Copies of this chain bind each other. A is one copy, B any other.
């Protein structure tokens, strides 16, 4: 197997091979601590979303230093990778409906606390059969659609019906509600975002009341992301938040503004695509070595960190076109790109290169890279 390592511990930043994924360890650590403090101040649990980083090293840091109670994963195989690496409390914040995936989930529940989301009555039977088969317990959150229009059952009686069935099913435990407003996270305007979350909070509170009437207690009321966590966190309704991107931030989250029109909760960009100029035959542009295989451009082009004189304007498989009106770039010049969307960008790399004080201090594998099953 050919290696994919762009540096070694001690390598000077300017000697890291490109394109590669670098983490500013100081900024990353400040982000984790800032979120931990918010959760502590507001008496909330933080179940950090590991779909952002897919790293057992980062999960451990979020739990040990940031005070997170565990992690969320979005795929069974992603959860397996982290459990295999030592994480002991994981919510698959998604539906698991295929028979073979349920078997993997039930087997994993023998060696870690495992929770999952449910939005379908027939799925309860299958999850129960899986848990019974393996002699394990799977905790279930009923997922309600609080406005994102994706997964989740309609809030209210439909949710209560599923919760009752879970409560009665062998091998399962009804643990609460998943009420994530995914669509709101990337709404740039604060007032618009707030209105969406107020709607979500109301739907969630109403469903909790109905569950109470049915003598079903929600130990967990879960949701929220980096774009809205202060809203759910101060609602008095949610008690377990699932923020993920705050550790890294990205160019799209940079466009999401707080009440004062400022950068979201002062989280800092800590994740960068390190890239080099590899062709410079025109006076007004340069070609760099980070293209579509070094990032995901679903949320637009990356932003060049700390520069306003040049702009990353276009992308093909292995090339990025950088507008260079002042003709300032030269062959082998290195640049730090803020990815437009951190999660799917991380997923194409094998390694995080952690840097501090001008050199490489940590190299972490992207433990669950490519774990889409």
Contacts and interface: CB of A to CB of B under 8 A. Distances in A.
A292 B344 CA distance: 6
Interface in A288-327: 289-290, 292-294, 296-298, 315-319, 321
A120 B294 CA distance: 24
A80 interface: yes
A332 interface: yes
Interface stretch (A16-24, A211-219, A235-243): A16-24
A100 B11 CA distance: 13
Interface in A265-299: 276, 278-282, 285, 287, 289-290, 292-294, 296-298
Interface string A8-28: 000000010111100000000
A292 B281 contact: no
Contacts of A290: 372
Oligomeric state, in copies: 2
A348 B298 CA distance: 15
A149 B281 CA distance: 10
Interface string A166-181: 0000000000000000
A254 interface: no
Interface stretch (A31-39, A90-98, A202-210, A354-362): A90-98
A128 interface: no
Given A296-B296, A318-B74, A331 B122 contact: yes
A349 interface: yes
B321 A150 contact: yes
Contacts of A344: 292-293, 317
A112 interface: no
Contact of A81 (B2, B289, B347): B2
B80 A2 contact: yes
A343 interface: yes
B279 A120 contact: yes
Contact of A293 (B98, B120, B343, B350): B343
B4 A94 contact: no
B316 A150 contact: yes
A211 to B, nearest CB: 18
A253 B100 CA distance: 35
A93 B17 CA distance: 19
A113 to B, nearest CB: 18
A331 B292 contact: no
A368 B174 CA distance: 44
B17 A123 contact: no
Given A51-B317, A317-B344, A344-B317, A332 B97 contact: yes
25 contacts: A2-B80, A2-B368, A4-B370, A17-B100, A18-B373, A51-B318, A94-B278, A94-B318, A97-B276, A97-B279, A98-B332, A119-B281, A120-B280, A120-B331, A123-B331, A149-B285, A151-B278, A151-B279, A151-B319, A152-B281, A294-B372, A317-B343, A318-B372, A348-B372, A349-B370
